[in-house]
Chain A
Amino acid sequence: MRRLTAIVLVALLAACVWPQAPAQDNGRVRFRAVDVIIDTGDAPLAAYQFELAAETGTIAIVGVEGGEHPAFAEPPYYDPAALQKNHIIIAAFSTQTDLPAGKVRVARVHVQVTGDTEPEYVVVLRVAASPDGTHIPATATASESRGETQ
């Protein structure tokens, strides 16, 4: 009896300590847009480079769109080699004189989400530069878009 109790206790302990198997992924597929916003304070933004990835969930990037300001309206370029690592590196620059400052949506990334886990996006701003090419202090955030749907 004591031996049986010990086995049960060990089994219970193991069940608690052993890493939980990931939640069953039911393969549900949906599409979302992720807005990337850079906040430059008062400084005009002339160039940027950021890296976007999902910390949780399973995503695939399915399109890259430009931002809201005319200076960054064209769809930015991405690094195809980095894309294979399930994240994306995006960069753009503008030589226009009318440049955005403050909070501006610089890009919209379209993603396919698979499974029940909602993705949490992480954006790392690698470069933000002013028209003279100098680094400017800025922050970047990513969140699901609230753009209009037909």
Chain B
Amino acid sequence: MSAKSRRMLRTLATAVLLCAIGACLVQCGTRKAAKYDWECPPCEGGVMWDPTLGGQETPQESPPRAVLDIGDEVWVIVRPEGSSAPLDQDEPGSGALVATVPGETKEVPVPLKHTEVKASISGYIATTEVTQQFHNPFSSKIEAKYVFPLPQNAAINEFIMTVGERRIRGIIRERAEAERIYEEARDQGYVASLLTQERPNIFTQSVANIEPGKEIDINIRYFHTLAYVDGWYEYDFPMVVGPRFNPPGMSDGVGAVGRGSRGVSGQSTEVEYLKPGERSGHDIALSVAIDAGVPIEEIACASHVVTTQHEGPGKATVALNALDTIPNKDFVLRYKVAGGTVKSNLLVHRDERGGTFTLMLYPPESLNMIARKPMEMVFVLDCSGSMSGTPIAQAKKAIERALMHLEPDDTFQIIRFSNNASQLGAAPILASKDNVREGLDYLRSLEGEGGTMMIEGIKAALDFPHDERRLRFVTFLTDGYIGNDREIIGEVKKRIGASRVFSFGVGSSPNRYLLDRMAKLGRGAVAYLGHNDSPTEVMDTFFERVSHPAMTDIAIDWGALDAYDVYPRQIPDLFVGRPVILTGRFRGAGEAVVRIRGDIAGELRERTLAVNLDGASATHAGLPVVWARAKIADLYDQATYDNDRELPEQIKQVALDYGLMSAYTAFVAVDSLTQTAGEFGTTVSVPVTVPEGVRYETTVDE
């Protein structure tokens, strides 16, 4: 078949299904960046913007690699085929575990055998395919339930159930309807599966009627944009949901219970955790193929042991090492591209639905050259039980470092919260040497124990008397292990006032949805402090960011692009090292020039971007899905502080139109040709390990 014929066929078949098919043809990237040009209106002492922003980032040391040292535990998992265990057996033997610590670990059979993750990155858009391999290691039929995390900005638009050799594509439905279909199929003995969203980063996978010894695979595909922070692109894959604390009286939270204690938390969603000394055979494999489009300078993974294969200057494949396959922490991959190659760019795509674009807007270089004003720094430290041990030690080191950065004109305050909130003083404290010393003493006295009444910390920090002569930064350091995420996000929006919220996710598996949204609605930025990250480096980077003014009051003249429905609706401020991504629809055609104006320390700056809306460059087929996901996220945020009853309906409609997961839609798949005998059997949850560094005893209900 000739190339021409193939092209014709593709055109023909994709004409009606671009929204679905095209998503896998994403070809976004810096390679196709639009032409751009910086302009600075004449002004006294004005600083010209340098268009080549990639070259001046502060040189970064690569995050330390996780390596095995002498004395570390090494697990070797041997899983014999075909073995099964009775359901009522407490020590079933679906596999044999051989460990270096004899007699200490009990193998627990679980219905999830393996997770396979394959990601590919093109430019700043990642496509990830996740395969969950369910099986039945027991002697009677089961329904498997697995509560698992995915990135909070994942646009999930593909769901396939594999039964033997047959692959059945799941259908997006209104959530209640999907649940009803699944339950009816399950009760009649059909093999069926259901994917629901509990939080933007927590999902439940249900698989019905798995017969003993049988396997059923679930494939999920999603897209998301990568974070670009201080010169590094970052790809994250969460592997476990951390144990959440739910305030008294709450029932729609996320409960954390021990294996076999289903129902004790009283929450609508529950995660079952393996007890100390227990281990499941569930493991994970992960690989990421990077096509940066420009030369890659450095690749680093602080969270896991990885192997890297370079396949050219701009291409590499990173894979999880076979010795690091326990899914108990976030996988965090960072890579740095050649200096000077990262630029603001505008990508466009047009299909039968109209035009869609994304605009990645980089901060102007001149931000680095303008000094900051005096600051009022409020540190809010999560001292709950889940933070005890390594997480709180890391967080305290970070605050310690931050206190050292303060100048005599600055003020500070330290607020702690667990079951309640308390603080160092009643008002902002001048950052004199003596006061800083007193602050350090107070900080060292703090320990992690008790619940996570984060609302108390929010109130204490955002209602705190503000010194109007200073810029106020409220810095939260927390793992975010709470079930009332949305209440907290809504409170941040309501109480933000003159503050800017900077959230630091602490630990191996923080609640990135909460932390990201707090920072977003708090007009700040988010950063993460993993167990293998240096608190000093993370805090130094943060101070570099807040030590210069942000570009504020950004307004965009879209010109001939004729843009509409742009998200986020309120354009965020631009901080040093932190670009923002906007996505929207457009009606324009031909050549367009976009003008971006903003205020830096009282001076107006303007930048222009030229883009061709027609021709070969307008073929970034994944953009409509990215746009739809951004719109859903924006509406969902709005629902945390706005009682508009139309919002759920609007979210649902966008999700159905684009075939996307949301709080109000779900994927269901039924194999109507595989009807098993008898009732649907016992429901078995997939118990997971508590995240690395988190103590079971202080976080999980028995």
Contact = CB atoms under 8 A, between A and B. Distances in A.
B19 A132 contact: no
A26 B177 CA distance: 18
Contact of B671 (A60, A110, A112, A129): A110
A66 B166 CA distance: 8
Contact of A49 (B7, B13, B168): B13
A81 interface: yes
B205 to A, nearest CB: 16
Interface string A1-35: 00000000000000000000000000001111100
A75 B160 contact: yes
Contact of B16 (A126, A133, A147, A148): A126
B701 to A, nearest CB: 36
A63 B669 contact: yes
A140 to B, nearest CB: 15
B171 A63 contact: yes
B582 to A, nearest CB: 24
Contacts of B1: 46, 95, 97, 131-132
Interface string A59-90: 01111111000000111111111011000010
Contact of A63 (B6, B10, B161, B188): B161
B184 interface: yes
B17 interface: yes
B332 interface: no
A94 B13 CA distance: 9
B172 interface: yes
Contact of B12 (A29, A31, A47, A74): A47
Nearest to B191: A150
A30 B188 contact: yes
A88 to B, nearest CB: 8
Given A31-B185, A112-B670, A81 B656 contact: yes
A133 B9 CA distance: 5
A89 B16 contact: yes
A80 B20 contact: yes
Contacts of B185: 31, 62, 112
Contact of B9 (A62, A95, A147): A95
Interface in B221-262: none
A137 B671 CA distance: 32
B672 interface: yes
A75 B167 contact: yes
A60 B181 contact: yes
B20 A79 contact: yes
Interface in B1-34: 1-2, 4-14, 16-17, 19-21
A86 to B, nearest CB: 12
B13 A91 contact: yes
A111 interface: yes
Contact of B672 (A79, A89, A91, A111): A111
A94 to B, nearest CB: 8
Most chain B beta carbons < 10 A, residue from A47, A94, A126: A47
Interface string B486-499: 00000000000000
A130 B2 CA distance: 12
B161 to A, nearest CB: 7
A150 B676 CA distance: 7
Given A31-B672, A33-B673, A77-B21, A48 B181 contact: no
A65 B170 CA distance: 9
A65 B12 contact: no
B570 interface: no
A91 B171 contact: no
A147 B670 CA distance: 15
Given A31-B188, A112-B181, A112-B670, A79 B171 contact: no
A113 to B, nearest CB: 10
Contact of A93 (B9, B656, B676): B9
A2 B496 CA distance: 83
Interface in B170-198: 170-173, 177, 181, 184-185, 188, 190, 192
A131 B169 contact: no
Contacts of B581: none
Interface string B403-419: 00000000000000000
B617 interface: no
A149 B673 contact: yes
A125 interface: no
A34 B397 CA distance: 63
Nearest to B658: A80
A78 B671 CA distance: 17
Given A91-B17, A126-B16, A133-B11, A62 B171 contact: yes
A73 B8 CA distance: 21
B308 interface: no
A133 B8 CA distance: 5
A95 B674 CA distance: 31
B668 interface: yes
Interface in B636-684: 656-659, 668-676
Contacts of A56: none
A32 B167 CA distance: 16
Contacts of B671: 63, 110
A150 B181 contact: no
Contacts of B657: 80-81
Nearest to A81: B657
Given A62-B185, A63-B671, A75-B160, A49 B16 contact: yes
A43 interface: no
Contacts of A79: 16-17, 19-20
Contact of A60 (B4, B6, B170, B177): B177
A92 interface: yes
A62 B181 contact: yes
B16 A63 contact: no
A150 B171 contact: no
B673 A148 contact: yes
A132 B169 contact: no
B171 A83 contact: yes
A69 B20 CA distance: 22
Given A149-B675, A150-B676, A65 B168 contact: yes
B680 to A, nearest CB: 14
A64 B168 contact: yes
A145 interface: yes
Contact of B670 (A31, A74, A150): A31
Nearest to A31: B672
Contacts of B675: 31, 149-150
A126 B16 CA distance: 10
Nearest to A112: B181
Given A31-B188, A31-B190, A63-B161, A77 B17 contact: yes
A131 B171 contact: no
A127 interface: yes
Nearest to A29: B184
9 contacts: A46-B5, A62-B672, A63-B672, A78-B169, A93-B12, A112-B181, A132-B8, A133-B5, A133-B12
Cβ-closest 5 pairs across A and B: A133-B8, A80-B659, A93-B13, A75-B169, A31-B672
Given A62-B181, A80-B19, 19 more contacts: A47-B12, A62-B670, A62-B672, A63-B161, A64-B171, A65-B168, A75-B169, A80-B172, A81-B657, A83-B171, A91-B21, A93-B10, A93-B13, A95-B1, A95-B10, A110-B673, A129-B12, A133-B5, A150-B676
